[in-house]
């Protein structure tokens, strides 16, 4: 039985979509390694629980940090682990696999990703650009001769693209996305309160109280960390309005990337975008107020896709059904 498998190989999360079954795996892109031997101790959810909490000889890393493959061996190990976990070999004979990986990876890295997938039992491996698949997963019919614009805000990268007739017309990719907001919050707390917090705490702040909305947000949260002066644990309370300022620089990079794409878009397609609006995908689209900010700045309607974190994974399923229309990267590798 031939089956199709789609993989969103994201810098923050890996999702695997199996035709007819939907998303069968959704785990953080984290690997825990024993430092001296390089042995992989844990992958995904289990490794994520160790972030910031490992003893000295173990380190929990994100092998694809910042939208590039920072550690290729660990990326490969992670991909193999996930494919084994869903037991591809016993499930299907010769599945077709479509992988969406960061836009900036080199052709050598692309080849190695393909090989890792092939070793897990597939002879037909395709790679595709993330914004294109995100747009399809968000429900856009990008194969028509009309303009669609997607802003995919992930963990490491924000990809902005205008698509028409199944291809990218204008695009921009910047290394400012959800992770940068976490870092901004962490830096702000450190500077203002002399309090050290971990990335997991700053991510929780981003989700629960942060906003980039010009109209603000009513939210407050108690956070714990280590006082830089006394070295002792300390609890403070923070509000949405004070976090707002620390996020504005990163938010404006995302706005600028979207503006630069619109400025380079042919006028007929711009007109389509005014009618249809811009769709936001990726987990970063869930930061409070990003839709309002972009709508204010771009002067076009902006909507957050349904289940923005699942768009790429769901899009792989749709793309695999349209393999003939897919610009097949396989031949070029
Ligand atoms: N409710 C939320 N509010 C704000 N941010 C969120 C929320 N949920 C998830 N995120 C952020 O979304 C980001 C991860 O999104 P996603 O899984 O789409 O990224 P990715 O596809 O792995 O990354 P990339 O596209 O860079 O490869 C993280 O930075 C995470 O903190």
61 and 21 in one domain? yes
Both tokens of 194, joined, read: 């002399």
DSSP β-bridge partners for residue 253: none
26 and 117 in one domain? yes
* Residue 11 annotated as lining a ligand binding site: yes
Radius of gyration (Cα) for the chain, nearest Å?
20
| Per-residue model confidence (pLDDT) at position 328 | 46
CA of residue 180 to ligand 1 center, whole Å: 11
In a domain, 128, yes or no: yes
- Give me the numbers of helices (H) and strands (E) for the chain, helices first please: 11, 16
Whole-model pTM: value is 0.91
DSSP 149-188: EEEEE-SS-EEEEEEETTEEEEEEEES-SHHHHHHHHHHH
| Per-residue model confidence (pLDDT) at position 89 | 65
The conformation of residue 44, written as its DSSP 8-state character, comes to T
The conformation of residue 264, written as its DSSP 8-state character, comes to T
pLDDT digits (tens, 9 = 90+) for 271-321: 999 999 999 999 999 999 999 999 999 999 999 999 999 999 999 989 888
289 Cβ inside 6 Å of ligand 1: no
Residues recorded for the chain: 333
What's the rounded Cα separation, in Å, for the pair 257 and 281? 15
282 and 298 in one domain? yes
What's the rounded Cα separation, in Å, for the pair 26 and 317? 15
Neighbour tally for 172: CB within 10 Å: 19
With the most atoms of ligand 1 within 8 angstroms of its CB, the residue from 155, 179, 180, 289 to mutate is 155
109 and 42 in one domain? yes
325 and 277 in one domain? no
In a domain, 138, yes or no: no
283 Cβ inside 6 Å of ligand 1: yes
CA of residue 157 to ligand 1 center, whole Å: 10
Nearest atom within ligand 1 for CA of residue 130: 25
CA of residue 241 to ligand 1 center, whole Å: 22
Sheet with 195-196, strands from edge to edge, namely 195-196, 220-227, 233-239
- Which residues touch 201 (CB under 8 Å, ≥6 apart)? 223, 224, 225
250 and 229 in one domain? yes
Compute the average pLDDT of residues 118-127. 81
| Per-residue model confidence (pLDDT) at position 3 | 76
> Residue 133: exposed, middle, or buried by beta-carbon count in 10 A (0-12, 13-18, 19+)?
buried
Nearest atom within ligand 1 for CA of residue 12: 22
> With 50 as the cut, is the pLDDT of residue 331 above it?
no
Q: What ipTM does this complex have? A: 0.98
Residue owning the nearest CA to atom 21 of ligand 1: 10
Neighbour tally for 35: CB within 10 Å: 11
In a domain, 221, yes or no: yes
pLDDT digits (tens, 9 = 90+) for 230-246: 999 999 999 999 999 99
Q: How many domains does the chain have?
A: 2
325 and 260 in one domain? no
Q: How many C-alpha atoms does 322 have within 13 Å on its Cβ side?
A: 17
> Residue 296: exposed, middle, or buried by beta-carbon count in 10 A (0-12, 13-18, 19+)?
middle
Residue 68 pLDDT grade (very low, low, confident, very high; cuts 50, 70, 90):
low
With the most atoms of ligand 1 within 8 angstroms of its CB, the residue from 283, 290, 308 to mutate is 283
235 and 165 in one domain? yes
178 Cβ inside 6 Å of ligand 1: yes
Residue 60 pLDDT grade (very low, low, confident, very high; cuts 50, 70, 90):
confident
Residue owning the nearest CA to atom 19 of ligand 1: 154
| Per-residue model confidence (pLDDT) at position 109 | 79
In a domain, 234, yes or no: yes
With the most atoms of ligand 1 within 8 angstroms of its CB, the residue from 178, 251, 254, 288 to mutate is 178
157 and 296 in one domain? yes
pLDDT digits (tens, 9 = 90+) for 152-191: 999 989 999 999 998 899 999 999 999 999 999 999 999 9
> With 60 as the cut, is the pLDDT of residue 333 above it?
no
147 Cβ inside 6 Å of ligand 1: no
181 and 88 in one domain? no
- Which residues touch 245 (CB under 8 Å, ≥6 apart)? 188
Residue 209 pLDDT grade (very low, low, confident, very high; cuts 50, 70, 90):
very high
| Per-residue model confidence (pLDDT) at position 112 | 79
CATH number, domain containing residue 197: 3.30.420.40
> With 60 as the cut, is the pLDDT of residue 265 above it?
yes
Q: Average model confidence (pLDDT) for the chain? A: 89
Nearest atom within ligand 1 for CA of residue 181: 29
- Structural domain span for residue 231: 143-304
Residue 330 pLDDT grade (very low, low, confident, very high; cuts 50, 70, 90):
very low
276 and 157 in one domain? yes
Dihedral sign (CA 283, 287, 291, 293):
negative
Neighbour tally for 161: CB within 10 Å: 25
In a domain, 137, yes or no: no
Cα 38 to chain centroid, rounded = 26
What percent of the chain clears pLDDT 90, i.e. is strictly above it? 61
Nearest atom within ligand 1 for CA of residue 312: 21
Compute the average pLDDT of residues 24-45. 91
Evaluate whether 304 touches 277 at the Cβ level (below 8 Å): no
Residue 66 pLDDT grade (very low, low, confident, very high; cuts 50, 70, 90):
low
118 and 22 in one domain? yes
């Amino acid at each position: 039985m031939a089956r199709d498998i789609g993989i969103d190989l994201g810098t923050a999360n890996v999702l695997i979509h199996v035709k007819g079954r939907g998303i069968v795996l959704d785990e953080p892109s984290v690997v825990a390694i024993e430092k001296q031997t390089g042995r992989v101790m844990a992958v995904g959810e289990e490794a994520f629980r160790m972030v910031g909490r490992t003893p000295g000889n173990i380190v929990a890393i994100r092998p694809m940090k910042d939208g590039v493959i920072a550690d290729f061996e660990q990326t490969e190990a992670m991909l193999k682990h996930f494919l084994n976990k869903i037991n591809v070999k016993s499930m299907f004979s010769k599945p077709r696999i479509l992988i969406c990986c960061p836009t900036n990876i080199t052709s050598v890295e692309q080849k190695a990703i393909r090989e890792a997938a092939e070793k897990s039992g597939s002879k037909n491996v395709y790679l595709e650009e993330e914004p294109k698949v995100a747009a399809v997963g968000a429900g856009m019919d990008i194969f028509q001769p009309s303009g669609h614009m997607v802003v995919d805000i992930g963990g490491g990268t924000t990809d902005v693209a205008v698509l028409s007739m199944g291809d990218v017309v204008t695009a921009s990719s910047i290394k400012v996305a959800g992770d940068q907001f976490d870092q901004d919050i962490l830096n702000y707390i450190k500077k203002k309160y002399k309090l050290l917090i971990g990335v997991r705490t700053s991510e929780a702040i981003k989700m629960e109280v942060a906003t980039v909305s010009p109209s603000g947000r009513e939210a407050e949260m108690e956070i714990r960390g280590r006082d830089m002066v006394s070295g002792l644990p300390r609890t403070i309370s923070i509000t949405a309005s004070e976090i707002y300022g620390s996020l504005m620089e990163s938010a404006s990079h995302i706005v600028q990337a979207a503006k630069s794409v619109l400025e380079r878009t042919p006028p007929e397609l711009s007109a389509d975008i005014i009618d249809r609006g811009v769709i936001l995908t990726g987990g970063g689209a869930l930061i409070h107020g990003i839709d309002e900010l972009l709508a204010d700045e771009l002067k076009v309607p902006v909507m957050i896709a349904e289940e923005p974190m699942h768009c790429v994974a769901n899009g792989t399923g749709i793309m695999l059904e349209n393999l003939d229309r897919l610009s097949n990267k396989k031949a070029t590798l």
